[in-house]
Structure 1
Amino acid sequence: MGVSVARTTVATKTGEVGGTLTNGLRVTLGIPYAAPPFGAARFREPQPAAPWDGVRDGTRFGPVAPQSAELPGAPAWRPGDEDVLTLNVWAPADAPGPLPVLFFLHGGAYTFGSSAQPDHDGAALARAGLVVVSCNYRVGFEGFGHVPGFPDNRGLLDQIAALEWVREHITAFGGDPAQVTLAGQSAGAGAVVCLMSSRRAAGLFRRAIVHSVPDATFSPDLAAGLARLVAEAAGVAPTAEGLLSASPQALVEASDRVVARYAADPDSGPLHYDTVIYGPVLDGALLTADPLDALAAGAGRGVDLLACHTTEEYRLMHQVGTMPPATTEEDLARFAAHWELPADLVDRYRTLMPGAPVLDVYLALAGDGFFAAHTARLAGAHARAGGRTRLSRFDRRRTRPDGTPVRAWHAADTPFALGTLDAAGVDFLTGGPADADDHALSRRMIRAWAAFATGGDPGWEPLDGATGAPVHVWAVPADRQEGPAPAHALWHDVRAVLRL
């Protein structure tokens, strides 16, 4: 099929922006939703974007936020790039009326990632009848590092500013500001549940889609302690004046040094196993309670929720080497002790996994505790509090020609749901080129997301908060429905404890 490309212009309240008209979609990239968060605006709440004259170029993604990651097919951050608070819109060009809006937040451990990643392209979902929005937001120290006297959770505040932009501008792109679904994967999903639980974001979205929600919120003391370590690594005082004197590049490099020290020291505590030093802070302002506790108390009850996790979340972290291996009983016991897990939890996993190698038990514990069981627990809490909730599990499995298994691991589900199976770098996540069964699964997931964003029903019954069923299982060649994963009951009253 040939690609037809023409120019198109959309008038927003801050100025005109030019994009492309490609095969029936209007694609507009790099639109400022807030001012550059540097100079006098650094470490502050996002400020309004300045209006512009003429037609702004909207054919390229905006610069990514300060980070050291270089992801396949996506631009890297360059020191000096400042206009990082931009968003992108994919919209059907000839919609018959206002369409539901799906706003996708990228993941990346609250430390890296951007909306320019090829696997986050919004075209497939737009072709399913949605107006799709994605954005860049501050990550790492700029977005989540503690600075005395300045707001915590600046990355979340950026996301709220982007949602407010949608409320004010999306009608110009054919979207309905009263029908917004906020979606995210991993850290993006964590951000979604934070905003569900925050009064500051109330009314900005009607539905939420979360894939692989991390159990990762930081106390103020923990955030301040990590900021002191980063300041020390940067050679500045852990004060507002000292941290402002350090360039964004200096804080990125200092953060990487702190992470490297934790990764190298097996006696350094829980951060040796999960070297994520930034995340949402329970600051008492934007976040007054942990999202799980808030949802259980009824926060976000009016927001429909579609949750999903993968079967073997932490297999990805093992594969890429960001989690140290555990191959002996001593390794396993040390891991459980550092995370302050109950003494009998490992034994209970062994009962569910008879004869499994230590590594398999270790990765199952980590994957469930940090992502899978936590996602299911959030869904159950939302349902018991009166919310309309659907739960699913991504369990697509294949075997490579050499006989090795393709794992249903963390982030493998995202390109299926976004319809980006052929994007650069995706074959690593999915275990090789997509086949016909994979493309069929992707179409099913796209239809489910589109149906949920349109009417709140992805195609299966709501979750029973008492039983944890039904769980829709995404699989090839066909989906199925099951009850909750047996291991998840073991986490009912268990949370991993993160300390310095």
Structure 2
Amino acid sequence: MEKRSRGDRADGHGGKGAPRGHGPVLRTENGLVRGRAAAGGVTAVLGIPYAAPPFGARRFGEPEPPAPWDGVRDCTVFGPVAPQSAELPGAPVWRPGDEDVLTVNVWAPENTGTGPLPVFFWIHGGANTFGSSAQPDFDGTALARAGLVVVSCNFRVGFEGFGHVPGHPDNRALLDQAAALRWVRDNIAAFGGDPGNVTVAGHSSGAGAVLCLMAMERARGLFRRAAAHSVPSAFHSVALAAAVTGRIAAVAQVAPTAEGLRSASPGALVAASDAVSAACATDPVAAVHAFESVIFQPVVDGEVLPADPLRALASGAARDIDLLLCHAEEEYWFLHTVGAVREVTTEAELGELARALDLPDGLVEGYGAVMPGAPVLDRALAVLGDAKFGAYTTRLAEIHARAGGRAHLARFARARPGVRPWHTADVPFAFGNLDAPGADFLVGGAPDEADRALSRRMLRAWADFAAGGDPGWPPVTATTTPARAWAVPDDRLVDAAASPVHGLWRSVPFGLLRPLRGADV
């Protein structure tokens, strides 16, 4: 990690008078940056621009390089978050006027003289609509102490990142992430990282982004491994993305054209998107939106994203990328608890859900046999969890292995009385951040020593996978599907293919979401 002495000129943020600091100074291609000391000999350098602010003349466009700066830029706090309405525990909120939202953060351990370190690049989740790299459970200090250079990034979310704008690229959030990976390629050596040994990782919509990057030509060669927890199976066609834009433009009272959409402020499009999402319970754009109103998804546009990841992996397009996949055993109980999914309590509503998910006859009935006596709600949440995350994640591992790639599979099974192994609970365990603000809700109360031991095992698996591609258990093969079940007090190796639920999904296709009234809008 290249450092400069404390006597170097420190004009602050962009050389424009930010406070003089005493942290380590490092050189990037665009200028000098000053970080701060974190715990355990780790340096944190936060809020480094990797692209220019994506507003004004650059709005709805591809990310462009940032302007260089003079002097030393103070990088001791996180950068602004992208336009959104969410207010998350311990994280900054978006404020109108915040524009420099395309930034990366780096946590780097002291150089031990062992050569460049593996790089772990994190993409946050948030239903493609909210979230940021500044969330406390994403702090990279513990992973850095395990021997990694950890990078996280902010990118455009919601309409700014995924809204369809005529004449402009779809999937701008994915283009932002690819630009951040190029920044890693060009700059991470100054922080002690190896640009030839990068692992891209993410959770939920961030995990979906990881798989999309594996399928994208524009990300080719920028990473050699991928770790994805709770990969969602939802992708939009261009027609559905355009239908969503039409709804949002109508609420914002602008034309669904590039000119009309540019005339609406980022805040106005956030408010209009929230309104459209809220209305989906009774007026869905796609049938599944009546049950879960996530209206922004990666768009299979044939250009930025040439194919959905399952088909890209099946073709062998990413067989040279090692893949580590994980899902929680009861994903949707979290989403039910936070009110993000419609409650299904009757057999008729369960049938409606099956039709909205376009599930084959007999699949939902199969859950009645697998879960005898279970209430309708339990079966509905199980079906949703497997359709959206569990079965899809397992299918990805199997397809990657059959195409000649290396894939490892895990499931988060840690439970305690009254606490389910649900969506997002695995993240603070793997990051080693069980005491972060908000983590107690995710993991179901204060962690005990068994939890801390599990956290150490999961963090070590990430670190070992990033370093050499082996998290510590056998990979999936063309004929076997071993999976590590993360649990307390002890983990176990299970045969995922032997599960009766796996049998229910074995021949079920995963495809694009379509508008409520067919593919053409």
TM-score (norm 1): 0.96
> Shift of the alpha carbon at 1:289?
1.0
Kindly provide the amino acid, as one letter, of the partner of residue 60 in structure 1: V
Which residue of 2 is the match for residue 423 of structure 1?
A: 436
Which residue of 2 is the match for residue 402 of structure 1?
A: none
Asked if 1:170 is matched to 2:184, the reply is: no
Which residue of 2 is the match for residue 242 of structure 1?
A: 260
Asked if 1:474 is matched to 2:486, the reply is: yes
Which residue of 2 is the match for residue 447 of structure 1?
A: 460
> Shift of the alpha carbon at 1:265?
5.1
> Shift of the alpha carbon at 1:486?
2.5
Which residue of 2 is the match for residue 91 of structure 1?
A: 108
Distance in structure 1 (CA, Å) of the matches to 2:188 and 2:292: 38
Deviating more after overlay: 238-247 vs 92-101? 92-101
> Is the contact made by 2:243 and 2:515 (CA closer than 8 Å) also made in structure 1?
no
Distance 1:488 1:241, change over 3 A: same
Deviating more after overlay: 324-333 vs 427-436? 324-333
Number of residues of Structure 1 aligned to a counterpart in Structure 2:
490
Which residue of 2 is the match for residue 65 of structure 1?
A: 82
Which residue of 2 is the match for residue 102 of structure 1?
A: 120
Distance in structure 2 (CA, Å) of the matches to 1:310 and 1:206: 25
> Is the contact made by 1:339 and 1:498 (CA closer than 8 Å) also made in structure 2?
no
Match of 2:476 among 463, 488, 495: 463
Deviating more after overlay: 265-274 vs 57-66? 265-274
Asked if 1:414 is matched to 2:427, the reply is: yes
Which residue of 1 is the match for residue 503 of structure 2?
A: 489
Which residue of 2 is the match for residue 251 of structure 1?
A: 269
Kindly provide the amino acid, as one letter, of the partner of residue 98 in structure 1: P
> Is the contact made by 1:24 and 1:94 (CA closer than 8 Å) also made in structure 2?
no
Q: For 1:14-413, list aligned pairs within 5 A.
A: 14-22=30-38, 23-96=40-113, 97-264=115-282, 269-399=287-417, 405-413=418-426
Distance 1:281 1:268, change over 3 A: closer
> Shift of the alpha carbon at 1:9?
0.6
Distance in structure 2 (CA, Å) of the matches to 1:52 and 1:180: 27
Distance in structure 2 (CA, Å) of the matches to 1:202 and 1:268: 32
Distance 1:94 1:407, change over 3 A: same
> Shift of the alpha carbon at 1:299?
1.4
SS of match in other structure, 2:212? helix
> Shift of the alpha carbon at 1:262?
0.6
Kindly provide the amino acid, as one letter, of the partner of residue 10 in structure 1: L
> Is the contact made by 2:413 and 2:421 (CA closer than 8 Å) also made in structure 1?
yes
SS of match in other structure, 1:91? strand
Unaligned regions of 5+ residues in structure 2, if any? 1-20, 517-521
Distance in structure 1 (CA, Å) of the matches to 2:283 and 2:340: 13
CA displacement, residues 105-145 of structure 1 (integer Å, 9 cap, x when unaligned): 00001100000000110001000000000000000000000
> Shift of the alpha carbon at 1:6?
5.7
Distance 1:45 1:266, change over 3 A: closer
Distance in structure 2 (CA, Å) of the matches to 1:187 and 1:475: 24
> Shift of the alpha carbon at 1:338?
2.1
Unaligned regions of 5+ residues in structure 1, if any? 400-404
SS of match in other structure, 1:263? coil
> Is the contact made by 1:393 and 1:473 (CA closer than 8 Å) also made in structure 2?
yes
Distance in structure 2 (CA, Å) of the matches to 1:95 and 1:302: 30
Deviating more after overlay: 145-154 vs 6-15? 6-15
Distance in structure 2 (CA, Å) of the matches to 1:340 and 1:187: 21
Identity between Structure 1 and Structure 2 (%): 62
SS of match in other structure, 2:23? strand
SS of match in other structure, 1:260? helix
CA displacement, residues 216-238 of structure 1 (integer Å, 9 cap, x when unaligned): 11100000111111100100000
> Is the contact made by 1:270 and 1:498 (CA closer than 8 Å) also made in structure 2?
no
Deviating more after overlay: 133-142 vs 456-465? 456-465
Kindly provide the amino acid, as one letter, of the partner of residue 45 in structure 2: T
Which residue of 1 is the match for residue 25 of structure 2?
A: 9
> Is the contact made by 1:6 and 1:21 (CA closer than 8 Å) also made in structure 2?
no
Kindly provide the amino acid, as one letter, of the partner of residue 463 in structure 2: A
SS of match in other structure, 1:179? strand
Which residue of 1 is the match for residue 446 of structure 2?
A: 433
CA displacement, residues 191-246 of structure 1 (integer Å, 9 cap, x when unaligned): 00001011111100000000000001110000011111110010000001100100
Kindly provide the amino acid, as one letter, of the partner of residue 438 in structure 2: G
> Shift of the alpha carbon at 1:334?
1.4
Distance in structure 2 (CA, Å) of the matches to 1:412 and 1:350: 27
Distance in structure 1 (CA, Å) of the matches to 2:65 and 2:29: 12
Distance in structure 2 (CA, Å) of the matches to 1:268 and 1:387: 34
CA displacement, residues 351-378 of structure 1 (integer Å, 9 cap, x when unaligned): 1111111111100000000011101101
SS of match in other structure, 2:280? helix
Which residue of 1 is the match for residue 4 of structure 2?
A: none
CA displacement, residues 149-170 of structure 1 (integer Å, 9 cap, x when unaligned): 0000000000000000000000
SS of match in other structure, 2:24? strand
> Is the contact made by 1:309 and 1:372 (CA closer than 8 Å) also made in structure 2?
yes
> Shift of the alpha carbon at 1:465?
2.9
> Shift of the alpha carbon at 1:490?
1.8
Cα RMSD of the aligned pairs, angstroms, is 1.3
Distance in structure 1 (CA, Å) of the matches to 2:168 and 2:286: 29
SS of match in other structure, 2:43? strand
> Shift of the alpha carbon at 1:488?
2.4
Distance in structure 2 (CA, Å) of the matches to 1:493 and 1:70: 40
> Is the contact made by 1:368 and 1:488 (CA closer than 8 Å) also made in structure 2?
no
> Shift of the alpha carbon at 1:274?
1.4
